[in-house]
Structure 1
């Protein structure tokens, strides 16, 4: 490399000085624009935003607590008063049974009148239970289903296919399709 190819020291210094000037110029401008008052104003604005956001967070937390409290109260009320409609049906049934008992106590009352009153009460109760998705299982003549029926005994019967319900000792019930009590039955062998 000859002397002409190498940059002179003064040229290098000028380039370095020029670069320093270009870097220092924007910083100096920014520093000149920043005054104590402007920085303090920006700080106050940022602090105000923080205060506002903290208040929003506190309000949101309070809303969540209120919603949680209200939902807990609603659940408690549902547990406490959830059976109210069912009880209305049961109370009506009790009224009818009381009338049937009163009618049976009247002199000259027939057994047929008493039986009719009890049958009406039974129909009323079944109708009321149906409103609450309670279904009665009366599987007489149906194939035995161990999921819904409880076999009390098996009796040979040549007229029926094996495992057919011949007699129902006690009817079963389901609530919303879920077994509450199985039907107690006699099945054929």
Structure 2
């Protein structure tokens, strides 16, 4: 094929293409209403999908927040159970500590064998070390104001000294114990009238 023929063929193709473009644009022009409807439908679908995505995001954030709250609540409950178990275990041993202290006092008053007294004192001191390690404090002070959070009044009696105010702890019958602000066992006391 000669270059002249090639040029003619190329020109014919261009003319055909431009005629097709005109027809297409005329067809598009005739169906603008259809195009607008199609765009409107697509826009509605886009809006629906955006709403669905937003709903899924909100749901996801809500579930994540619920999960975080659940983890925190579980951690608090775990700590509470641990603390309560520790308190219960310590509370169960408190009478043993009291008995050791009373035994030690009785042995010292009875002038028992020194090695025997030293052995009991050693056990009592070890027990006290355990209580100290867990921050357990004895409630056994006399001459302090009566506090319902720390004391259990077993008896009210007049004070021997007039300078002692009413509502003062005169004598501790049985020591109490507390961990921090929590009272494990109230001290049993005699209170002044």
Relative to the length of structure 2, the TM-score reads 0.51
Matched, 1:126 2:131: yes
Matched, 1:173 2:174: no
SS class of match (2:138): strand
The equivalent of 1:77 in structure 2 is 78
State the aligned residue count. Answer: 139
SS class of match (1:139): coil
SS class of match (2:188): strand
Matched, 1:154 2:157: yes
Contact 1:168 1:186 in 2 (8 A): yes
Cα shift at 1:111 = 0.8
Which of these residues, 162, 168, 187, is aligned with residue 183 of structure 1? Answer: 187
Relative to structure 1, the CA distance from residue 154 to residue 49 in structure 2 (aligned partners, 3 Å threshold; closer, same or farther) is same
Relative to structure 1, the CA distance from residue 57 to residue 165 in structure 2 (aligned partners, 3 Å threshold; closer, same or farther) is closer
Contact 1:160 1:188 in 2 (8 A): no
Once superposed, what is the RMSD of the aligned Cα atoms?
4.0
| Structure 1 unaligned spans of 5+ | 1-30, 101-107
| Structure 2 unaligned spans of 5+ | 1-31, 101-112
The equivalent of 1:50 in structure 2 is 51
Q: Distance in 2 between matches of 1:55 and 1:123?
A: 59
Relative to the length of structure 1, the TM-score reads 0.52
User: By percentage of residues, which structure has more helix?
Assistant: 2
